[in-house]
């Protein structure tokens, strides 16, 4: 079998070599389109769902009374159905229905499928993630723009697939489901850790709870007295850095970003380790971080040099508090969100309350950094598990590795 490339849509069914004892079918031989129209009642409450992109599963859209549902052509779904979003399937919006969503409803913007008996849908939900199946979804959708494609199931069901007998399908589904459950359990742990961290931040960064051994007062300060603007230019030879929502100040070449930087970097600003950089146009969203590197950043960013009165990491965590981010929004100038900006002239006048003892600032920051490190390690573990799952899928769903049934 050929080696997969990044562009999944470049792979077709003929590029695969399946085991000789696997059987070729048209999709039409395996699944049937199901319609369970409902007579909607204005006073009855209904559960609505949607299907996430990138094979992200089904999520609830909430409960609505019939009179509040604008599209009246609705269909009931059952546990074990396979649901396809007609307008999002080119982006992988399909999933099997689990028990929690049984008897929910979908509009005629969805196709509902079920097995004709010789296909395990627990297997099929992974099989459709193979690159050639993604291509099937794409080429059987009509439209001039990828965001406006409309799925044509009658064309799709005529396509060919090659699959094992049902017992082997079921075993493959069990293996991949177990791996997926492990990933989801790790993701839940990450969300719990993030919630814990938010609670701890709220307590420690506001002085609501004090660390043992620190008794000096907290005082209100103007930001201009603890963070000075660094406006050093002409360091074109330094590494280009970016300031992001999720990664703070990061190396540009390590990010999956289109390089929109100017060739002329004479006006790019120097940033040093322990400086705080923020996106002048997005500080009202909390886009800031402490730099670990010496480099240059776009003129669209503001660079702050800490004085000896503050710890950079403490201030950076403080800038993540919702109340502080709201303050940044109020001090930003612009008519609408897309034009809001927080230049240093306005930033410097903001007043915040912080510990006067820099040792207390550092101690708080160290606790939060340890939590960040734990979350980072868990995220790396999830990334590794996802790569393992992707490899397992490629091996098991194509028969390169067989399972004992």
Superfamily of domain 217-356 in CATH is DNA methylase specificity domains (3.90.220.20)
Which whole number is the average pLDDT over 28-41? 95
Cβ count within 10 A of residue 13? 16
Place of tokens 């590029």: 15
Indicate whether 315 pLDDT > 80. yes
- Show Cβ contacts of residue 11 under 8 Å, excluding neighbours closer than 6 positions: 2, 4, 5, 131, 132, 135
* 390 band by pLDDT with thresholds 50, 70 and 90: very high
Superfamily of domain 165-207+359-405 in CATH is Bipartite methylase S protein (1.10.287.1120)
d(CA 101, CA 50): 10
CB contact burial 35-72 (16+ within 10 A = b; e otherwise): eeeeebeeeeebbbbbbbeebebbeeeeeeebeeeeee
Which whole number is the average pLDDT over 334-358? 93
Backbone CA torsion sign across 9, 14, 20, 23 = positive
Which whole number is the average pLDDT over 63-68? 94
- Show Cβ contacts of residue 93 under 8 Å, excluding neighbours closer than 6 positions: 51, 52, 53, 84, 85
Read off the DSSP letter of residue 258. Answer: -
| Element holding 58 (H helix, E strand) | strand 58-65
User: In CATH terms, are 8-163 and 217-356 the same topology?
Assistant: yes
More confident call, 351 vs 2: 351
Place of tokens 């003129």: 299
d(CA 64, CA 76): 14
148-194: pLDDT as tens digits: 899 999 999 999 999 999 999 999 999 999 999 999 999 999 999 99
Indicate whether 44 pLDDT > 90. yes
> Helix, strand, or coil here: 221?
strand
250-295: pLDDT as tens digits: 998 767 666 666 778 889 999 999 999 999 999 999 999 999 999 9
37: which 2 tokens? 């129209």
Write down the domain spans for the chain: 8-163, 165-207+359-405, 217-356
Select from 2.130.10.10, 3.90.220.20, 3.40.50.720, 3.40.50.920 the CATH code of 8-163: 3.90.220.20
The pLDDT, as a whole number, for residue 259 is 65
Residue 239: which region, alpha, beta or left (left: phi > 0; alpha: psi -120 to 50)? beta
- Show Cβ contacts of residue 71 under 8 Å, excluding neighbours closer than 6 positions: 107, 108, 109
Read off the DSSP letter of residue 371. Answer: H
Helix, strand, coil % (nearest 5) of the chain? Answer: 40, 25, 40
Which whole number is the average pLDDT over 130-152? 92
d(CA 353, CA 316): 14
**Mean per-residue pLDDT over the chain, rounded:** 93
Read off the DSSP letter of residue 364. Answer: H
187-242: pLDDT as tens digits: 999 999 999 999 999 999 999 999 999 999 999 999 999 999 999 999 999 999 99
The pLDDT, as a whole number, for residue 1 is 38
* pTM higher than 0.85: no
* 22 band by pLDDT with thresholds 50, 70 and 90: very high
Read off the DSSP letter of residue 356. Answer: S
- Show Cβ contacts of residue 386 under 8 Å, excluding neighbours closer than 6 positions: 183
Indicate whether 2 pLDDT > 80. no
Indicate whether 337 pLDDT > 90. no
DSSP per-residue letters across 80-143: T-EEEETTTGGGT-EEEPPGGGTT-EEETTEEEEEE-SS--HHHHHHHTTSHHHHHHHHHTEE-
The pLDDT, as a whole number, for residue 249 is 94
């Amino acid at each position: 079998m050929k080696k997969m490339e990044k562009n999944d849509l470049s792979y077709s069914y003929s590029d695969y070599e399946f085991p000789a004892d696997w059987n070729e079918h048209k999709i039409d031989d395996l699944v049937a389109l199901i319609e369970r129209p409902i007579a909607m009642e204005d006073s009855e409450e209904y559960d609505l769902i949607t299907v996430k992109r990138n094979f992200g599963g089904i999520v609830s859209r909430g409960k609505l009374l019939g009179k509040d549902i604008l599209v009246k052509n609705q269909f009931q779904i059952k546990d074990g159905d396979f649901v396809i979003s007609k307008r999002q399937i080119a982006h992988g919006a399909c999933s099997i229905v689990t028990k929690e969503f049984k008897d929910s409803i979908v509009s005629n913007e969805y196709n509902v499928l079920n097995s004709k008996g010789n296909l395990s849908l627990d297997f099929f939900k992974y099989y459709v993630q193979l690159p050639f199946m993604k291509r099937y979804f794409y080429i059987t959708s009509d439209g001039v723009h990828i965001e406006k494609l409309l799925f044509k199931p009658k064309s799709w069901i005529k396509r060919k697939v090659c699959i094992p007998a049902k017992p082997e399908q079921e075993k493959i589904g069990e293996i991949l489901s177990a791996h997926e459950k492990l990933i989801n359990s790790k993701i839940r742990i990450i969300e719990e850790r993030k919630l814990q961290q938010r609670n701890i931040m709220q307590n420690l960064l506001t002085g609501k709870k004090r660390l043992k051994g620190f008794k000096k007062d907290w005082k209100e300060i103007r930001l201009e007295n603890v963070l000075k603007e660094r406006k050093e230019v002409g360091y074109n030879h330094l590494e280009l850095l970016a300031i992001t929502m999720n990664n703070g100040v990061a190396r540009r070449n390590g990010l999956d970003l289109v390089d929109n930087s100017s060739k002329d970097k004479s006006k790019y600003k120097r940033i040093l380790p322990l400086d705080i950089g923020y996106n002048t146009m997005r500080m009202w969203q909390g886009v800031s971080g402490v730099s670990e590197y010496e480099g240059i950043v776009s003129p669209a960013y503001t660079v702050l040099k800490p004085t000896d009165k503050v710890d950079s990491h403490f201030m950076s965590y403080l800038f993540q508090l919702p109340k502080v981010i709201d303050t940044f929004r109020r001090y930003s100038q612009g008519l609408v969100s897309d034009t809001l900006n927080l230049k240093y002239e306005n930033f410097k006048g903001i007043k915040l309350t912080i510990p006067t003892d820099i040792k207390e600032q550092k101690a708080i920051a160290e606790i939060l950094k340890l939590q960040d490190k734990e979350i980072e390690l868990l995220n790396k573990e999830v990334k590794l598990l996802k790569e393992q799952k992707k490899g397992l899928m490629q091996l098991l769903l194509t028969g390169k590795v067989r399972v004992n049934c």
